[in-house]
Amino acid sequence: MKQIHFSGNKNVIYRRLYLARKNQGLSQSQLAAQMQVMNVNMDQQMISRIEKNQRQVTDYEFACFCSCLSVQPEELLADFFDQFLP
């Protein structure tokens, strides 16, 4: 299976996801539970792997993270915009 990376990253939201979750006062398990309510098969270990930049994030997971954390997509993508776009 081909590994997909972007500039050495498995995902570009890992740091901002962690910060947004902490700002909401949520544990990884609590965020995973909210994702499951939205029909996203996600557990605490998956959240941990995403936040450690060890797992990719699908488009629907990204959209649901934004909804669960009450953030705009640009907020989770801020590091990407800062680093890779002029």
Say how far apart CA 44 and CA 52 lie, in whole Å.
Answer: 12
66-81, pLDDT tens digit by residue? 999 999 999 999 999 9
Domain boundaries, the chain: 14-80
User: pTM, whole model, 2 decimals?
Assistant: 0.92
Is residue 34 within 8 A of residue 47, CB to CB? The reply is no
pLDDT tier at 1, thresholds 50, 70, 90: low
Under CATH, to which class is 14-80 assigned? mainly alpha
